[in-house]
Every structure is written in structure tokens, then in C-alpha cells.
Copies of this chain bind each other. A is one copy, B any other.
Amino acid sequence: MDSLDDLIRNAGAAVYCLYASSENAAMRHMTRFVTHDPVTILKRPDNPPLMIVPLMEADRAQRESPAEILTRQQAGYLEIFEYEKDPWKIQAEMIRRLSEGPYLVPPDFPTALTRALEPYNTVIVDSSSGLSAHRAIKTPEEIGWITNAQRAAEAAMDRAVSMIRHADVKSGMLWYEDAPLTSDLVRYEMNKIMLAYDCTAQDTIVACGLETAMPHCTGSGVLKAHEPIVIDVFPCDNKTGYHADMTRTVSRGEPSGKVTELYETVRDALLMSENMVQEGASGAACYQAVRDFFAELGYQSDTEGFIHSLGHGVGLEIHEQPSLSGTGGDLRAGHVITLEPGLYYRDTGGVRIENLGVVEKTGFSRITNYPLEMVL
């Protein structure tokens, strides 16, 4: 795996440029600095990254980031503003004063800034197998951060499972402490627990019945007995920005035979895929093997059935490299991935089970520590 310095040299560039807030994973990875406004970052080979920040952020950036810090004023902002009012041309001129290029940029670099840099020198786009591939291989410290977030996810899952298990059933509906047990209430209780772990969870899924046929439907209304309930949670640790991701499908009381069959098939696909993962295995081949396994049992991967990929990398982004889909490349030791087979039918509902773990030289080291159990 090439280092960032190698990427820059091999591209024939003088410097790697980012222009992004810390919601951008490459930016946060390179600077470990949290800001909601975009900043400019320049990385030269054999040098620490250089970050240009507004004056108001200078002291905090010095304290919180290992990057070298320049204020916009120090980078010439006010001087340039005297003759140039276009904000993108101002950014470009500040960059040019620090490096004459050529400039290597990520695929999602703003078009307006590329256009403003092009008159100075070549702007080379780093392919998606560049810096993101580098970031996909995690250090032990990063695996620790992801594991922390996963523990928050499991505590939240435990709360959801416990509420559903101990609910009363009245006319097929779940009741908890004398009120209907809704998707919103379970989600709220889960998010509260994750907050106690200093994790933020958005769009936590607690979907029931036919809603589960839509994999990312967050769910609404009162939960029902004997129906699949998909619980999918992906917290972000506020301190580090790293995510975890897990899904369980449960049912209060036995569901229909068809749902039970879906559950057992998806569970077997999960266990099978956990056994296929190791360094050098192809993401596309793992996906195809699960697709074939489903097909042999009569479950297609068409407009219903297995309608998404087998899994994805997890880190500063909830979905990042590598991909375990039809276009997935080879897995590498240190990749942190989810495996999440699922089957979805509009007239029955859906089942998805998702574990998180690390790709090792000889296998898959599961991070998720939570039982596989459908009927509560």
C-alpha cells in the first residue's frame, strides 16, 4: 500500500490539496481537527500537513491538530481580497503562494476550486483507489476507536431487545409500561444510551412488518408481535469521529414460516461469509458466493431478494472502502468491514443481520459481540 507521500510522488504532483470541513473523512484523517467550515490543507512529501484556518480557529487548531497551522491572514487572504473578490480564486491564489503545483486532489475536490487552480498548474485527480484505499487499512488505534463505538451500538441494541422482549402483547401490538411501544420510542431509548457513550447515532432503524422490505426505512408506528423487526444502528464516536455498524432482526413471538426461513437463510449466509473473509479474498467473490448461495435456495438478487451489497468498510465514514459488492476489489489485512446479507420481499418484509470485524491474514476477527437470536 502506497503512503500518501508515494501517491503524491507517483502522480508527479508537488502537493496534495484538500478543501473540506471535518465531515470529510480525508480531511479529518489527515488533520484530526473538527470544524464545520471548510479549510484548506496542503500535504507535501516529507512534511506534515499544512492547514489554513480562519483567525478565530488558529489557537484551537494549534492545540488540537498535529498539522502545521497558518491563518488565512498569514496566507495572504486580506492582501488578495484587495484585488480579487471571487472566493474560489482567493483560495486558489493562497494555495499557489504556498505551492506552485502540480496539484493532486481527491475525486470529490470542489470543481470551482479545480477551475481556479488550473490556470496555475495541472490539477491531477487521485483515483478512488488512492488515498481512500490507504485510509481503509486501519491502525490498531483506529480499530480500538471503532470497537468503542461498537460497544455503544451493542448497549443500545441490548436496550431495544430488552424492551421488545419484555413488552406486553395486546391484540398483536406491543405495549411497554402501559403505552404502545413505537419505533420512535425504541429509537429514542437507543440513541440516549449511545449518547451516554459519547456517541451520536442518526437515522437509527427500528422498522417492523412490511416496512422492513425497505432496507433503510427508519420505521414508524407501533411495533407488532410475530412480525420481523429490523434494528440497525451505526453510531459515531464524538471524540474520534469513527463509526460502528450492526444490525439484528428480531420478532416478538414466532413470525410466519416464510420469515423464519428468510432468517435462517440470511444467518447461514452471514456465517458462510465470515468464513470466506481473509487477506487476498476478493470482495466481489464474497458477494457473488452469497448471491449464489441465495440463488440455490431460490432467492434471487433482482428487484427483490438480495438487493444490496454484502458489506462495506467502516471508519470515519459509515460506508467507505473496501466494497463487498459486484465491483469490490481484494480485501487487505487491517480492513474493518461489515458483513450484512439481507433478503427483502414486498409482501413479506425483510431480514438483515450485520456483524463488524477486521480482515486478518487468515480470517475474519469479529468485533461484534452480540448473540444471533430472532425470536424474543
Chain A interface residues toward B at CB < 8 A: 23, 34-37, 54-57, 59-60, 63, 81, 85, 87-88, 105, 107-115, 123, 125, 128, 184, 188, 191-192, 195-196, 198, 200, 202-203, 213-217, 238, 303, 307-308, 318-319, 326-327, 344, 346
Contact = CB atoms under 8 A, between A and B. Distances in A.
A307 B216 contact: no
A60 B110 contact: no
Nearest to A22: B203
Contacts of A109: 110-111
Contacts of A88: 107
A113 B105 CA distance: 13
A238 B307 CA distance: 27
A191 B195 contact: yes
A303 B55 contact: yes
Going nearest first, the 9 A-B pairs with the smallest beta carbon separation are: A107-B112, A56-B308, A60-B214, A108-B110, A111-B114, A109-B111, A56-B307, A56-B215, A59-B214
Contacts of A115: 125
B107 A123 contact: no
Given A195-B191, A195-B195, A308-B56, A110 B112 contact: no
Contacts of A200: 200, 202
Contacts of A188: 195-196, 198
A57 B259 CA distance: 21
20 contacts: A34-B203, A37-B319, A55-B307, A56-B215, A57-B214, A57-B215, A59-B214, A87-B327, A105-B111, A107-B110, A107-B111, A110-B111, A112-B125, A112-B128, A114-B114, A184-B198, A188-B198, A191-B195, A195-B195, A203-B238
B216 A56 contact: yes
A50 B55 CA distance: 41
A327 B111 contact: no
A108 B111 contact: yes
Contacts of A213: 59
Nearest to A112: B107
A264 B354 CA distance: 55
A210 B60 CA distance: 12
Contacts of A215: 56-57, 60
Most buried by B among A125, A195, A213, A216: A216
Contacts of A23: 23
Nearest to A303: B55
Contact of A36 (B37, B81, B108, B318): B318
Most buried by B among A35, A59, A88, A344: A59
A232 to B, nearest CB: 12
